[in-house]
Amino acid sequence: MFKTLVIKEWKEKAPIAVFGLGWMVISLAAFLIFGDDPDLRELMPVTFLIIFFPFIGVMLGAGAFESEFRNGSWAYLLSRPVRKETIWLAKLTALLSIMAGFWLVFIGSMAVVPGLGEVVRGFKWLEFLDPGLDLFLLMLLSSVLYFSVAFSLSILSERQLSLVFGSFLLSFSVQALLSYLASQAEDQGLLSGVYRFLWLDVYFLALVLSSLAFLGASLITFRKVDFSQSRKKNLSLAKYAILFLILAWILAVAWPVFRPGPEEGLSSQVEVVGSMAFFSTSRGLYRYDIVRDDLKKVAKWRPNSYFGVSFVIAGGQVLYDACGWNLQNSPELRIMNTDGSGKRLLVGGGPDGFPLWPGYSNFLLSPDGKMVVYLSDQNDETVPGPRTAKRTVSIGADGTGLKKLPPLDPALAGTGGDIWIRAWHEPSNSLLLMVRDQGSPWSLLTYNLTTGAQARLFETPRAGSFLISPGGDKVLIVHQPEGGGPADVTLLDIASSEITPVMKVENPGESIWGPVTRKVWNRKGDKVAFLAEQARGVFTPAVYMLKERRVIMPGNCRVKEMPYFGPMLKWASEDAKLMLVSPEDRSLKILDPGLAVERSVPIPASIGEFFLFCATDDTVLMGEISEDHRGSIWRLDLKTEKWKRIW
């Protein structure tokens, strides 16, 4: 019966199909004939797209039920032994298939008619709205909306002209309203925080859902309502259309919250505590037991396309920032045990909230894991990124004892620059803060949590010019004099403020990383390794032994290609050996205590942009992060030299 009804509809609408095909043929012929004219070349197909498909959609939709009401055959149709849903669906199927036919003919023409596809795909007029705005998709969805509105309205009246006009008016109004709301979301409107990046997707989704809303209203009205009573018909359609439109728009707006999200992406942060490696992705925090080769997801969070989640680990606790779906308003600071148990919200929004832009870690756990400090900024600035802390706040890891600490001295920290909490110096119960006022060099400050005393340790123009030891008691500093010259590498003792010269590094070139890069402390904090530039673009590993106060740098192990960022040196084998990534021959070199290459392990080709994440006694973890923020983590067994992908 369904097929019978569909065929009947096809036969009835054959004149519209012929008319539409004729229009298409004439338009294509005009394009072929006048396509050489640069003005007409784009104008003709684009105008055709914008006018033809909505028009044909309305013509088809408006004719769905109108003729039956006009000639009175609706009572005959409804008295046939066929369910109303079947009648409705048959009409929809038949008419939509004709619409699809027009689109297929047009798509086929784009493939066949020389130049047509390029013109449609290369359409630029709407780029001022969004570079990603696809005219073809826009008109496809618009025509479906125009069709759906006309299809729905056709159950109301037998006056075709009124239906066509009314359908155009209503469709255009709905689309205009959606466009306005979308532009508000894209710009500075109410929804801009959520939809800045997604407004076009939401807009397209809203078009589709609006079409479904009208069709849904039409179906319910057709099924339930007494068609002999116009008022009831009108009221029913209006009621359900409004209700479903509201639902459709709510769904469209809510979609970014509940969408599946991008494929799980890997962050570049890996922390190792004992034999456990922790790394975060766009969907959660993983704990990898290196000894047991056991991976466990210890925390889950909502996928976020744009920012990773930062975390710190100390005293058996993991402190991490979690942002909800609203990127601007709901970052939170959460804490849990390293096995994933005891998850709790530590700080949410509010006056003492944690409103920093997600992905910019600015919090710290005390070494015993019992105290948390974070920077709170209630400026409500909308510009993402680190910003001036108005307050340094401490709170117990159990969520009690929230305390606003004395403000930073403007003379030391400035008033409008950046502040980063870098380390916790346990002996003096001080924080090491990296601060910079606007236009000034970076300073490393101590901030005594007990007394509030603050002091500047040193200034440096480059944020990456120093590295604090694991215990927070030493700082390796690289001084680069302005205007060139050798760089001084020194060691600062926090407690005594004593500065020990380490070495001078000639500055042969203008390396973007500076003459000393990829600094890494060992776990005990008695050795620090780095790459020093020996000749222009040629780096060699060096190690400073704190106890012996000497540098080991044989110079025969060289690195000529440097990845843009990411760790290249890691300590292994109880800090006895150094691992070095050598990009030029895609190998991992294991250096003996004298920094001679003990052996070299090839890195598999399947690992693309690689980072050396961590190395334990017998195991190396290496990560790969591709440009689309996906990635993988690989494990290398140093004994067998076998690689295995663990994530």
Partner 1 sequence: MSELLKVEKLSKGFGGRAVLREVGFSVDPGKVYGLLGRNGEGKTTLIRTIMGVIPRDAGVMTFKGRALKFGDADYKKEIGYIPEDAFFYGGMSVGGLLEFNGRFFPKWDARKAADDLERSGLDPAAKVRTLSRGQQLKLAFVAALAARPELLLLDDPTSGLDVPTRRDFLRDVIRELAAGGTAVLFATHLVHELERIVDHLFIIHGGRIVLDETYEKVKSLARRAVLGFDTEPPESPTLDGVLSQRRTGKDLELIVYPWSEAVERTLLALNAARLEIEPLSLEDIFTSFVQET
73 binds partner 1 (CB under 8 A): yes
CB 113 within 8 A of CB 31: yes
Which helix (H) or strand (E) element contains residue 194? helix 192-195
CB 64 within 8 A of CB 95: yes
Nearest CA to 225 among 237, 216, 238, 241?
237
CB of 155 to partner 1, least distance (A): 14
29 binds partner 1 (CB under 8 A): no
Nearest CA to 469 among 559, 553, 392, 367?
367
CA distance between the termini of the chain: 54
Residue count (the chain): 647
Among 30, 105, 129, 225, binds partner 1 (CB under 8 A): 225
Among 136, 172, 227, 307, binds partner 1 (CB under 8 A): 227
258 binds partner 1 (CB under 8 A): no
> In degrees rounded to 5, what are phi and psi of residue 602?
-65, 145
Smaller CB distance to partner 1: residue 80 or 523?
A: 80
CB 628 within 8 A of CB 264: no
Quick check: helix, strand or coil at residue 336? strand
Smaller CB distance to partner 1: residue 70 or 642?
A: 70
Count of residues interacting with partner 1 (CB under 8 A)? 26
Smaller CB distance to partner 1: residue 28 or 62?
A: 62
CB of 57 to partner 1, least distance (A): 23
Smaller CB distance to partner 1: residue 11 or 297?
A: 11
Smaller CB distance to partner 1: residue 87 or 591?
A: 87
Q: Which two three-digit tokens encode residue 436?
A: 């910079």
Interacting span for partner 1 (CB under 8 A) from 79-87, 110-118, 521-529, 582-590: 79-87
Orientation angle between helical segments 38-62 and 135-153, nearest 10 degrees: 20
Smaller CB distance to partner 1: residue 1 or 291?
A: 1
CB 559 within 8 A of CB 578: no
DSSP 129-156: T-TT--HHHHHHHHHHHHHHHHHHHTTT
CB of 117 to partner 1, least distance (A): 38
Among 173, 229, 497, 500, binds partner 1 (CB under 8 A): 229
Among 36, 39, 79, 510, binds partner 1 (CB under 8 A): 79
549 binds partner 1 (CB under 8 A): no
For residue 412, the one-letter residue type is L
Smaller CB distance to partner 1: residue 70 or 297?
A: 70
118 binds partner 1 (CB under 8 A): no
Q: How many CA atoms lie within 13 A of 57 on its CB side?
A: 26
Q: What is the largest CA-CA distance in the chain?
A: 104
CB 558 within 8 A of CB 542: no
Interacting span for partner 1 (CB under 8 A) from 96-104, 227-235, 503-511, 579-587: 227-235
For residue 295, the one-letter residue type is L
226 binds partner 1 (CB under 8 A): yes
Interacting span for partner 1 (CB under 8 A) from 20-28, 218-226, 266-274, 375-383: 218-226
Interacting span for partner 1 (CB under 8 A) from 73-81, 241-249, 418-426, 525-533: 73-81
8 binds partner 1 (CB under 8 A): yes
Interacting span for partner 1 (CB under 8 A) from 78-86, 285-293, 429-437, 533-541: 78-86
Q: CA of 394: how far to CAs of 450, 506, 577, in Å?
A: 11, 43, 38
Q: How many CA atoms lie within 13 A of 82 on its CB side?
A: 17
10 binds partner 1 (CB under 8 A): no
Smaller CB distance to partner 1: residue 160 or 511?
A: 160
CB of 228 to partner 1, least distance (A): 5
Among 22, 26, 51, 83, binds partner 1 (CB under 8 A): 83
Virtual CA dihedral for 38, 42, 44, 47, nearest 10 degrees? -150
82 binds partner 1 (CB under 8 A): yes
Counting beta carbons within 10 angstroms of the beta carbon of residue 633, is it exposed (0 to 12), middle (13 to 18) or buried (19 or more)? buried
235 binds partner 1 (CB under 8 A): no
75 binds partner 1 (CB under 8 A): yes
Among 101, 104, 169, 223, binds partner 1 (CB under 8 A): 223
CB of 22 to partner 1, least distance (A): 20
CB 298 within 8 A of CB 340: yes
239 binds partner 1 (CB under 8 A): no
Q: Give Cα 431 distance to the centre of its chain.
A: 32
224 binds partner 1 (CB under 8 A): yes
Dihedral sign for Cα atoms in the order 443, 448, 454, 457:
negative
Residues in contact with partner 1 by CB under 8 A are 1, 4, 8, 11-12, 71-73, 75-76, 78-84, 86, 223-229, 231
